[in-house]
Amino acid sequence: MYFYIFMSNCNHLADILLLLFSDLRVTVLIISAILGVYWIFYVPCNWTKSLQSVGYMPAVNSINFWKRINSCKQHSINGFRRPRLIGITELPPPYPNGWYCILESSSLIAKNVTYVSCLGEHFVVFRTFDGQVNVLDAYCPHLGANMGLNGQVKGDNIECPFHQWSFRGSDGTCANIPYSHTEPKGIKVRKWICREINDGIFIWYHSENEKNHWELPFISAVDNKELVFHGRNEFYINCHIQEIPENGADLAHFPSIHKAFLLTGLEKRGEHLISRIVQHHWEAIWSTSVSPKTHVATLDLKHSIHLFPKFNILEVNVQAKQIGPSFVHLHLKSSLFGQIEILQTITPVEPLIQKVVHRFYAQKFFGPLIKLMIFAESVMFERDIVMWNNKTYRSKPQLVKEDAAIKNFRNWFSQFYTENSKSFLEAR
């Protein structure tokens, strides 16, 4: 009896499915809905912007606007960059000493080879079959071939594509020259100190060639997969690296730049009616750490969203740890979405071009909310990019007493420069 009832229910279900999928439009809607739900919950989002995408407003008077927009933006970028070169003597060295993320771990699979150019250096990054990551100078000492382009991983070595010389990933020494019977003594390429941690591949850069003075922190919730990766954003910014972390110590910029509701966009935010209805409020304290963690600074931030603007409808507590010149660990807590970890890395691609990446981690089933968070953080960060892309650096800014944190930040950040740090003119 139960079998017949079961079969009857199955037949009814089959009839319903047949009815639904008999119409192509309904079929498309159902499949789209399923894919949409899957994307919202399970697919990490990727918000990327090029150097031309944010903060440049080209003046174009042409009926062929859309055909010319990219070239005009590039012209605008060059136009803004040229005046800033007048004050290059004010710029600090462009490459502070510290740890830098040169690749995200997910972009380097086993036996894969990648070429990376940043910090005024050229790297070949490769992963051996057992998962070990090595970073060497990219150019072969033989005739200068780039081993990051078409080089091959052979065991623990990298093989140059030009003449098949191979170099050990462990120390950069030449292990084999296939056509020579002479032992390759004293032939080597530079081996860079590297760490794979927190889903990133980092190298230690120091202008005096000193070994690393400190280590990056192991963020257990990320490396142990307690929290799930929900997405990332990536920006290229036209400024000196120091200006980006200095933003955290610039406490007065929060109400000026970030008070208006995020949906008002980047321009003329105060003119929107919604800015009078919904506002972001900020309370911030910036501080440094004592020995042995003098390379760490902390921004404690209380962010709340207000309606009309008296009613506090959402509160987020943020602790941002600035660890060295280029790595920030942001720990967020809220009653709405629980715990979120954001990892920010800054990599100087050129002296005045920074690659900034934020990676977002949270509990598995908070996918939709975290995607909204990524959108909100990206919009807020783009407001800062508008400022950075169009400003100049002041080595001796006129500050008031309320700007004390900026002075303290610059004193703290100066520890990452040493006597032989390359000047801007040397690094160009």
Residue 157 is predicted with a pLDDT of 98
Residue 316 is predicted with a pLDDT of 95
Instruction: Note the pLDDT tens digit of each residue in 9-48.
Output: 555 656 655 555 566 667 777 788 888 777 777 789 999 9
Topology match between the domains 98-205 and 220-427: no
What mean pLDDT is reported for the chain? 88
Residue 5 is predicted with a pLDDT of 43
Instruction: Note the pLDDT tens digit of each residue in 258-280.
Output: 999 888 877 656 667 787 889 99
Instruction: Note the pLDDT tens digit of each residue in 354-401.
Output: 999 999 999 988 888 999 999 999 999 999 999 999 999 999 999 999
Calpha distance 50→349 (Å, rounded): 13
Residue 190 is predicted with a pLDDT of 98
Taking each helix axis from N to C terminus, what angle separates 2-21 and 24-42, rounded to the nearest 10 degrees?
Answer: 100
- What percent of the chain is predicted at pLDDT more than 90? 70
User: Regarding the domain delimited by 98-205, which CATH topology (the fold level of the hierarchy) does it fall under?
Assistant: Rieske Iron-sulfur Protein (2.102.10)
pLDDT surpassing 50 at residue 205: yes
Which residue did the predictor score with more confidence, 290 or 86? 290
Instruction: Note the pLDDT tens digit of each residue in 206-234.
Output: 999 999 999 999 999 998 889 999 999 99
For the ranges 21-30, 170-179, 406-415, which has the lowest average pLDDT? 21-30
pLDDT grade for 89, boundaries at 50, 70 and 90 = confident
Instruction: Note the pLDDT tens digit of each residue in 72-81.
Output: 555 555 655 5
Residue 37 is predicted with a pLDDT of 77
User: Regarding the domain delimited by 220-427, which CATH topology (the fold level of the hierarchy) does it fall under?
Assistant: Naphthalene 1,2-dioxygenase Alpha Subunit; Chain A, domain 1 (3.90.380)
pLDDT grade for 8, boundaries at 50, 70 and 90 = low
pLDDT grade for 162, boundaries at 50, 70 and 90 = very high
Calpha distance 230→341 (Å, rounded): 10
Domain map (residue ranges) of the chain: 98-205, 220-427
Angle 251-374-203 from CA coordinates, rounded to 5°: 75
